[in-house]
A and B are shown apart, each in its own frame.
Chain A
Amino acid sequence: MFFFTVRRLLSSIVVLFASSLAVFALCVASFDPLAPYRTRQPAPPPEFFANLREQLNLNEPFISRYFSWLGGVLTLDFGESNGGTAVGPQLLGRLGVTARMVIAAMVLAVILAIIVGVLTAVRQYKPEDYFFTFLTYVLIALPTFWFAALLKEFVAIQFNDLVGQQVFYTIGEQSPAIELIGTRSEIFWDRLGHLILPTISLAMLSFAAWSRFQRAAMLDVLNSDYIRLARAKGLQRRRVLVRHGLRNALIPLTTVVALNVGLIMGGAVVTETVFVWHGMGEYLIVSIGRSDLFPVLGWLLVAAFFVILFNLIADLLYAVLDPRIRLN
């Protein structure tokens, strides 16, 4: 197991470096750091551009630019945006904001998916099964932003009007400047109130697919011989379902959840836009709009890092959970 872990870790690092090169190539081909100056009226003289190119190292060959960026990243220096602010601290702060939503959504989606998946498998072809199957089909067909707007405009606002008090917040990740004036518990409840709706809309994106997957895995297990044996030797139904059935049926889900991290990060960009969060998603969209090279590079690298990390975790978890996986 130890050597397996080390080998996987090393290969993940190699993939991360390859990915950073690919990301760099994509961004350098996409964004022109001089773009904001090109549209200026009156047009700046050519010497200005020549100076700027020299200043930003744009005259150097691609590979040396890549390595100078990579060298910076390895010392946690992600470069500067067009406006001159450092990218690293920005990314870190915004990552904290987005992580709240992503982690909450993943936890919620996994719990719901397991409950609904197991329920629909155990009660296969019963009314509950049909109801949840229909629900998941509809959820799979919903665009995230439309569902989020639906929640925001018609559920949250009307509920708030009904109660006469702001229960669900629909804008921002927290009330403005609450971290300066509020006590610790006030900050907590304020952020929680802001978190609910984005989390639900982000979680529904994955919940539907995962619950279908969990249902299939559970059915697969329930129809296997060892479950029949467990029942035949007189174990309680509940014990068979949980100890023998569910434990085995959870293994495939871990992989799927870990592999869908990229999808959720993409979804978070959308949810953040709908709920006007000042997180990673906003940073990406704004930076792309300004064709700002280093923020986008940093964003993509962070995303790639998490996707590769979760792939690694999935591999290792699978090996731990399923002893049949050959480690060599």
Chain B
Amino acid sequence: MTTVEKAADKVAPPQTADPLHEQVEREFTVKARSQREQVFRRFVRNKQAMGGLILFLAILAICWIYPYFYQFGFNDLDATSRSVGPGTNGHVLGTEGLGRDLFANIMRGVQRSTLIILIAVALSLTIGLLVGLLAGYYGGWVDNVLMRLVDLILTVPGLVVLIVVASNFPNLRSATGIALILGLFGWLDLSRILRSQILGLREREFIEAAHALGASDTRIMFKHLVPNMLGSIIVWGTLAAATIVLAEATLTYLGFGVANDTSLGKLVSDGVSAASTRPWLFYYPGLMLVIIALCINLIGDGIRDAFDPSNKRVRA
């Protein structure tokens, strides 16, 4: 990398008047790539990750655009065809007990689930970032208090904390409400990851230099530390999205999740009780959920490999 850059620097000022230089330039046309370009190129060359990304974007596009052209709305009750199998009376994937079209509902569910992902990830990213920054940067008692708090929350199984908290708010059974609850408890691992990275970063020269130049703490945190941790933050955000999709489904299945709304998790959990009698209600939403979670995981792993090609870090 550095040699490539040096070569590029030497060649960089093109003096077209000089025939000798022109020849050199043609022989070594080396283009310097920024860090960001390298990461991007590595990601684009990763077949699995690009496949996941394209499939994911295609699913999102279909689920957000196609409902405008589809003949059934997600809430339309078709009294003439209740609980019919795929392909009957124009219902591509069949209907459920009240005559609502499954395909329209899956598209609606994906829309709501995207919303859940966005809200929950944004919320837990904000909290995790702040906690990680405060704990890592200030250290001392701030670090102690915050990290012991995280340890304490982690002593109880996460799913159970979610259940207990969700049972408190029977009015928050919509997609947005569940997203808020998931977001409020999703930041624990992020804050730990960021804290440990900051502990290394804050001893580096560029932070010292920023201090010496009189930069404020907030400036150092957001202009110097955060850009250096962007890789981990993006990777965490992607992988957390997959976790949130699954957590929402599990919570809904146990009866503490989405109730008065459509979501992918709701469709999957409703389908489980119909598995033996109306298998299409079981298969299609479940497959959709698995494909989405799989795509997000592939994208996340692709981004991680792009940022860290040594490929040593593994999720567990």
Spell out A's residues near B (CB within 8 Å): 15-16, 18-19, 22-23, 26-27, 29-30, 137-138, 140-146, 149-150, 152-154, 157, 209-210, 212-213, 215-216, 220, 256, 260, 262-263, 265-267, 269-270, 273-274, 284-285, 288-289, 291, 296, 299-300, 303-304, 307-308
Interface residues contributed by chain B, number (CB under 8 Å) = 45
The main secondary structure of chain B at its interface with chain A is helix
Identify 16 residue pairs between A and B in the complex whose beta-carbon atoms are under 8 Å apart, listed by A's number. A18-B152, A19-B152, A22-B155, A141-B242, A141-B297, A143-B289, A145-B253, A146-B249, A146-B289, A212-B315, A213-B315, A216-B313, A262-B154, A265-B160, A270-B159, A307-B155
Given A27-B164, A209-B316: A138 in contact with B290 (beta carbons within 8 A): yes
Residue of B nearest to A142 (CB): B290
> With A19-B152, A140-B297 known to touch, is A145 a contact of B250 (CB < 8 Å)?
yes
CA distance A274 to B282 in the complex (A): 14
A145 CB, nearest partner CB in chain B, Å: 5
Beyond A26-B164, A212-B316, is A141–B294 a contact (Cβ under 8 Å)?
Answer: yes
Minimum CB–CB distance for B258 against chain A, Å: 14
Partner of B254 from A15, A27, A215, A285 at Cβ < 8 Å: A285
Q: Which of B160, B242, B315 contacts A266 (CB 8 A)?
A: B160
Q: Are A291 and B167 in contact (CB under 8 A)?
A: yes
Chain B residue at smallest Cβ distance from A209: B316
What is the predominant secondary structure among interface residues of chain A facing chain B? Answer: helix
Stretch from B11-19, B62-70, B104-112, B267-275 that touches the partner: B267-275
B32 in the interface (beta carbon within 8 A) = no
CB-CB under 8 A for A149 and B154, given A266-B160, A273-B253:
no
A304 touches B254 (CB 8 A): no
> Is there an interface contact between B157 and A303, defined as CB atoms closer than 8 Å?
yes
Return the chain A residue nearest B239 by Cβ. Answer: A140
In this complex, what residue of A is CB-closest to B293? Answer: A141
A16 to B249, CA, bound (A): 31
B165 beta carbon closer than 8 Å to chain A: yes
Measured in the bound complex, the distance between the Cα atoms of B246 and A303 in whole Å is: 22
Chain B residues, CB < 8 A from A16:
155
Contact partner, A19, options B155, B268, B275, B315, Cβ 8 Å = B155
Is B298 interfacial (CB 8 A cutoff)? yes
Interface: B84 (CB within 8 A): no
- Nearest-Cβ distance from residue B302 to partner chain A, whole angstroms: 12
B3 in contact (CB, < 8 A): no
Q: Which residues of A contact B155 (CB under 8 A)?
A: 15-16, 19, 22, 262, 304, 307-308
Q: What separation, in Å, do the CA atoms of A311 and B285 have in the docked complex?
A: 37
Once bound together, how far apart are the Cα atoms of A22 and B155, in whole Å? 10
